[in-house]
Structure 1
């Protein structure tokens, strides 16, 4: 277990990674290698909540195959990720599968969402209110998000899911990572794209909007959404 600074106890989080098919992998967080021997499952406790850069490597089977991602760890929660290698031209996919309270279910008071240091892509800000990124009014997160997510997952059809998602997200703000989780509940990429376009103005951390591209089944759908966002930015 990697020991972080005392900040971990003020805004504590945990994160775990597991390989879907059992392949061993290496994990680096914020440039520091966490497990020095490849393993198919790894858990990290007492990490400061907030944004972290993660790097997943499959060193044995796939040589230099690497996936890099920007993760947001919510204070008081453990976030579980599953990694897998997909496609004829292998690539690593990282999916958030679960998030639940740690420390006996006691969740610390919310804290301001930190500003990630890396610049964001030049996405449109249709309501001309960039300060809203930090304010995050009516944030859909924690237990409230999980209730919504479970209700959404119980809907059998994409149209029903889309209607519910628009109703809830339209009255809230949401983290980009959570929007990606919601999009992954849809079977068809066109519905995922519809929701992403609708929800953009309500994404709390818009600089991380790019993470939703990983929700698509086909890379062409992700590229189409990226082109759409770039056109709106002009």
Structure 2
């Protein structure tokens, strides 16, 4: 038992996160410490549950009509923060080559008083975070990507208020995917007593009935 405790204590705390995106929409693969993060190339990759400290990133940026660019960079992740990096042209006005630049650090832990008096929701997405996610979503042309961005950010933060969920749903064009987001986010909503607000983001009665059936099953 003592050996097990020593092993657990020796393991690094997974209390940092990383977000990498391209300024001009280029697609890339990201590898951290020899582990390929996104087998499918993307213009934006978020990674949670990382140990704080030094990490070596390998990025393979797919070129548009040219050879791919390989970038190796060292980053330092701060405990309790999501470190945001952007792949931008080395020379303004040109498309290649790209360089990895740090943009900001966003706090991961945001204590909020529980709306219901319980401890079910310790952290919540704040206003600036919601605005940032909305900007990312609107820059994407496909609803599938917008849905994945919203789901990923909600999961990474750990909590969201109903009014903010409504805004993310409205940033999605197709109602089917709005419903998918609402169902996914239910477990992360901090003020479930106001969850019926999401119905205002739905236009079709069939969608509202689907959400009603979902809620009935959840509260039984």
TM interval, shorter chain, is: 0.3 to 0.5
TM, length-normalised to structure 2: 0.45
Larger RCO (CA under 8 A, 6+ residues apart): 1
